[in-house]
């Protein structure tokens, strides 16, 4: 069994393919995290308790003076104010006004399968035998709250998920001030922390630093997961690289304000907590009401950072992304944005479509500018009806013409936003997010709609549904182009104002679920100024996310390398654009690492470019499964400052391999022997271009001398090897 309860030791043992996780019920009902690391097949693990503690740390008087202190024990779910001074996972204010919180074990159950989380996206099982779940019910008897810790083990992936539900079993309202999804105590601080930082158009750069005493971490208070930080972190052993060392990866399935904090204490131990950002959150819990935290995903690898990433990729492709396009090949699209921006009309888009169809492109996407009286970013968000100056006969005849060409059709929306210059705003000025008595801040000439309100969501959905139900839409791009401030909702009482940010993101999920439920055949791509909401929760609704508004191929190398830390290639929207820095072939080679498309004026292609596009499209179809669902090896990182970047995909059965190399420095003639990764040593592989045959052992041990293959600045090349 992946999860067992050892009664005589009062111990839970949770096993995945690569890891073991052990929880003990200690005296007094304390839950202690005894072990998390490489899988061990026995349960004879000593409790890693520091029974002696710093002299000023209090002890539990029921357990003997000096015998046990919550401040030095590896508490499984640390709470606030009851002797554990480290950063806490739980803080609840009761009717008396104090926030002392102390939960103790009450009961547990183990069962096959995995529960969903009401109103929140989460990972899932395809069948109940794919996972096993442990629920540990603990309680604060004084506060009158039950806290259930929910663990699901996906044994064959090396993955464990965690979430928490909190029930008020008292007859008084309580206030949750902190409710993290994950709390892990480690007996050491000998880790490096890896996080993904950035900004608009340069998202998810890899940052690595050693843990130090005190607090460190990342967070967002922008209303979304944001371009600036991502709800991911990894704790890795010093010196760990792609192929060696320990790596613990953590990812929060949430799209709103989050916090990931590590604290290293006086015992040189580490506590990591992850969940909703408590700085912008509280929740009033009425009697019998239940609050659910978002889900946290944990991955352990003892074969380096690369194996941690590949585990995330396999797991997300199979147990997070869902719907029609989970495995169906997605159409190659041409998006109008970088070709025309707001300057679109029926004739121009039909011309795009004809030119695209001749080259083998499969879908035309009409981006921003089709609705209201939208000619720039100063108006019309919220007016989701066709701009009749641009489409004189309406939307339906135009879309029919696109379909008659043999192309699929896609459309752009920004449902959570409203322009001051819009009919919708003039009719409902109170629908925007604003604080009472204050003039709301404006960003990109737009306000944020208060989708925490059901009436606002209904009004938005009514317009969207009218467009989607009356037209054959194959693809929808959902954008979100500013952060949230002036956080308030007219429908929330004074006591509930700090619930706004979480209620807002629950409202977003409700809208997205309506789209997914009512239009399951639509290919849904999420976007937030590019990658501002690139998180696992969004992948529950949309199988792909626009990775960045920056489509320059060389800049995209860092963006895509960083994104791949935990997100699979199948999730990354990547297009060939008109950015001139890199050759056309390199732009395509980089964009192939994702859900492929074009974002430029195809009418202006030279004959040579047309020929290249046809080859690129053929490559997309040829390598689709290999790239979208294969094993990724980040061979040479652009973050390392070397003269080349290289990445490699290997099919799950090891029968195919695709290596891509990009030159980052002028006239790079340094010796370059590439040793392939992930191949089967006993297979023979044929290099498609040269026709030469090599053993897998030769390719991985000796490698190939590629020094003369990719030498010129921003040049690139692919090598495709197939089992004989």
pLDDT for 49 equals 57
- Its CATH architecture, for the domain 333-546, is Alpha-Beta Barrel (3.20)
pLDDT in tens, 500-517: 999 999 999 999 999 999
Average pLDDT in the chain: 96
Model confidence at 56, pLDDT cuts 50, 70, 90, reads confident
pLDDT in tens, 133-150: 999 999 999 999 999 999
DSSP category for residue 590: H
pLDDT for 66 equals 56
Helix, strand, coil percent content, the chain, rounded in steps of 5: 25, 35, 45
State how far the Cα of 283 lies from the Cα of 92, in Å rounded to an integer. Answer: 9
State how far the Cα of 404 lies from the Cα of 293, in Å rounded to an integer. Answer: 47
In degrees to the nearest 10, what's the CA dihedral of 460, 465, 466, 468?
A: 130
Give me the catalytic one of 84, 383, 549, 555.
549
**Mean local confidence (pLDDT), 625-645:** 96
Q: Is the pLDDT of residue 12 over 90?
A: yes
Burial class (CB in 10 A: 0-12, 13-18, 19+), 697: middle
> Quick one: what percent of the chain has pLDDT higher than 70?
98
pLDDT in tens, 566-619: 999 999 999 999 988 999 999 999 999 999 999 999 999 999 999 999 999 999
Q: How many residues does the chain have?
A: 724
pLDDT for 652 equals 96
Q: What's the predicted TM-score (pTM) here?
A: 0.97
pLDDT for 51 equals 47
Nearest CA to 116 out of 250, 276, 295, 285 is that of: 295
* Strand partners of residue 685: 694, 723
pLDDT for 53 equals 59
pLDDT in tens, 481-503: 999 999 999 999 999 999 999 99
The sign of the CA dihedral 236, 238, 239, 244 is negative
pLDDT for 233 equals 98
Degrees to nearest 5, angle at CA 488 with 486 and 494:
135
Q: Is the pLDDT of residue 157 over 70?
A: yes
Residue 690: φ, ψ to 5°: -85, -20
pLDDT for 55 equals 65
Long-range contacts of 137-141 (CB under 8 A, 24+ apart): 137/105, 137/106, 137/107, 137/108, 138/29, 138/31, 138/77, 138/103, 138/104, 138/105, 138/106, 139/103, 139/104, 139/106, 139/169, 140/79, 140/92, 140/101, 140/102, 140/103, 140/104, 141/104
pLDDT for 406 equals 98
Write the Ramachandran bin of 42: left for phi over 0, alpha for psi from -120 to 50, otherwise beta: beta
Write the Ramachandran bin of 2: left for phi over 0, alpha for psi from -120 to 50, otherwise beta: alpha
pLDDT for 211 equals 98
Q: Is the pLDDT of residue 67 over 80?
A: no
Model confidence at 57, pLDDT cuts 50, 70, 90, reads confident
State how far the Cα of 335 lies from the Cα of 341, in Å rounded to an integer. Answer: 10
pLDDT in tens, 331-367: 999 999 999 999 999 999 999 999 999 999 999 999 9
pLDDT for 92 equals 98
The strand order across the sheet containing 3-6 reads: 3-6, 11-15, 19-25, 31-38
What are the tokens at 364?
């035309």
The ranges assigned to domains in the chain are 3-41+55-319, 333-546, 634-723
Model confidence at 668, pLDDT cuts 50, 70, 90, reads low
pLDDT in tens, 114-127: 999 999 999 999 99
- Its CATH architecture, for the domain 3-41+55-319, is Distorted Sandwich (2.70)
What are the tokens at 608?
């040579």
Residue 465: φ, ψ to 5°: -65, -35
**Mean local confidence (pLDDT), 419-433:** 98
Cα atoms in the Cβ-side hemisphere of radius 13 Å centred on 628: 24
In degrees to the nearest 10, what's the CA dihedral of 64, 65, 71, 75?
A: -10
**Mean local confidence (pLDDT), 212-218:** 98
Give me the catalytic one of 192, 479, 535, 555.
479
State how far the Cα of 195 lies from the Cα of 668, in Å rounded to an integer. Answer: 31
Q: Is the pLDDT of residue 47 over 90?
A: no
| 549 is an active site residue | yes
pLDDT for 45 equals 81
**CATH code given to domain 634-723:** 2.60.40.1180
* 78, 63 Cβ separation under 8 angstroms: no
The residues, ordered by sequence, that sit 6+ positions from 42 with a Cβ below 8 Å of its Cβ are: none
Q: Is the pLDDT of residue 624 over 80?
A: yes
H/E segment holding residue 509: helix 500-518
H/E segment holding residue 309: helix 304-319
Q: Is the pLDDT of residue 724 over 80?
A: yes
pLDDT in tens, 353-412: 999 999 999 999 999 999 999 999 999 999 999 999 999 999 999 999 999 999 999 999
pLDDT for 166 equals 98
The sign of the CA dihedral 86, 87, 92, 96 is positive
Model confidence at 669, pLDDT cuts 50, 70, 90, reads low
Min mean pLDDT across 43-57, 159-173, 279-293, 552-566 is at: 43-57
Give, in order, the Cα–Cα distances in Å from 477 to each of 302, 439, 510, 520, 543: 38, 30, 17, 14, 12
3-state secondary structure of 45: coil
What are the tokens at 35?
């072990």
DSSP category for residue 279: G
State how far the Cα of 395 lies from the Cα of 375, in Å rounded to an integer. Answer: 17
Q: How far is CA 566 from the centre of its chain?
A: 7
Tell me, letter by letter, the H, E, C secondary structure of 552-598: CHHHHHHHHHHHCCCCCHHHEEEEEECCCCCCHHHHHHHHCCCEEEE
Q: Which residue has the tokens 């891509």?
A: 660
Q: How far is CA 141 from the centre of its chain?
A: 37
């Amino acid at each position: 069994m992946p999860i067992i309860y050892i009664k005589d030791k009062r111990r839970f043992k949770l096993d995945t393919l690569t890891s073991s996780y052990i929880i003990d019920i200690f005296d007094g009902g304390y839950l202690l995290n005894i072990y998390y690391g490489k899988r061990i097949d026995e349960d004879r693990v000593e409790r890693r308790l520091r029974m002696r503690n710093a002299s000023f740390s209090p002890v539990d008087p029921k357990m003997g003076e000096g015998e046990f202190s919550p401040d030095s024990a590896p508490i499984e779910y640390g709470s606030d104010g009851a002797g554990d001074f480290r950063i806490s996972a739980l803080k609840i204010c009761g009717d008396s006004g104090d926030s002392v919180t102390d939960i103790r074990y009450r009961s547990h159950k183990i069962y096959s399968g995995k529960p969903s989380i009401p109103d929140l996206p989460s990972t899932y099982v395809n069948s109940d035998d794919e996972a096993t779940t442990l629920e540990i019910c603990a309680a604060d008897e004084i506060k009158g709250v039950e806290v259930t810790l929910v663990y699901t083990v996906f044994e064959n992936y090396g993955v464990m998920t965690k979430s928490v539900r909190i029930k008020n079993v008292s007859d008084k309202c309580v206030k949750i001030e902190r409710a993290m999804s994950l709390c892990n105590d480690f007996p050491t601080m000998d880790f490096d922390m890896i996080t993904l930082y950035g900004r608009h158009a340069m998202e998810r750069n890899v940052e690595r630093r050693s843990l130090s005493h005190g607090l460190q971490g990342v967070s967002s208070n922008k209303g979304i997961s944001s371009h600036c930080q991502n709800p991911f972190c990894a704790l890795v052993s010093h010196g760990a690289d792609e192929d060696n060392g320990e790596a613990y990866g953590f990812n929060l399935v949430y799209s709103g304000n989050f916090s990931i904090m590590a604290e290293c204490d006086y015992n040189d131990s580490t506590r990591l907590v992850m969940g909703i950002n408590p700085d912008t959150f509280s929740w009033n819990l009425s009697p019998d009401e239940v609050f659910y935290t978002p889900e946290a995903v944990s991955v352990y690898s003892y074969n380096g950072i690369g194996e941690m990433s590949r585990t995330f990729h396999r797991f997300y492709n199979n147990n997070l992304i869902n719907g029609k396009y989970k495995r169906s090949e997605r159409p190659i699209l041409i998006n109008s944005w970088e070709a025309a921006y707001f300057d679109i009309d029926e004739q121009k888009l039909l011309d795009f479509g004809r030119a695209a169809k001749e080259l083998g492109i499969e879908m035309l996407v009409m981006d921003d500018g089709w609705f209201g009286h939208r000619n720039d970013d100063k108006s019309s968000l919220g007016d989701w009806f066709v701009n009749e100056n641009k489409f004189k006969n309406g939307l339906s005849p135009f879309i029919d013409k696109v379909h008659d060409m043999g192309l699929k059709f896609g459309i752009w929306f920004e449902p959570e936003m409203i322009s001051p210059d819009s009919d919708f705003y003039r009719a409902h000025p109170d629908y925007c997010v604003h604080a009472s008595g204050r003039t709301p801040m404006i960003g990109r000439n737009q306000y944020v709609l208060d989708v925490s309100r059901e009436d606002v969501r209904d009004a938005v959905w009514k317009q969207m549904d009218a467009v989607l139900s009356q037209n054959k839409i194959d693809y929808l791009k959902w954008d979100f182009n500013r952060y949230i401030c002036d956080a308030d909702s007219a429908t929330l009482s004074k006591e509930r104002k700090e619930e706004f940010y979480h209620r807002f993101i629950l409202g977003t999920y409700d809208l997205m679920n309506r789209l997914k439920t009512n239009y399951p055949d639509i290919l849904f791509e999420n976007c937030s100024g590019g990658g501002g909401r690139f998180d696992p929760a969004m992948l529950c609704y949309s199988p792909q996310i626009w990775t960045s508004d920056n489509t320059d191929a060389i800049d995209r190398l860092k963006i895509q390398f960083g994104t791949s830390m935990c997100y699979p290639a199948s999730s990354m929207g990547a297009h060939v654009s008109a950015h001139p820095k890199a050759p056309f072939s390199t732009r395509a080679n980089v964009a192939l690492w994702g859900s492929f498309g074009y974002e430029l004026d195809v009418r202006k292609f030279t004959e040579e470019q047309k020929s290249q596009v046809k080859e690129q499209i053929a490559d997309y179809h040829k390598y689709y499964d290999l790239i979208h669902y294969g094993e990724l090896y980040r061979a040479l990182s652009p973050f390392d400052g070397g003269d080349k970047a290289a990445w490699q995909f290997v099919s799950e059965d090891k029968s195919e391999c695709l290596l891509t190399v990009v030159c980052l420095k002028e006239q790079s003639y340094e010796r370059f022997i590439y040793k392939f990764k992930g191949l089967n040593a006993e297979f023979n592989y044929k290099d498609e271009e040269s026709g030469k045959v090599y053993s897998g052992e030769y390719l991985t041990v000796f490698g190939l001398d590629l020094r003369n293959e990719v030498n010129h600045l921003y040049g690139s090349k692919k090598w495709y090897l197939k089992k004989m």
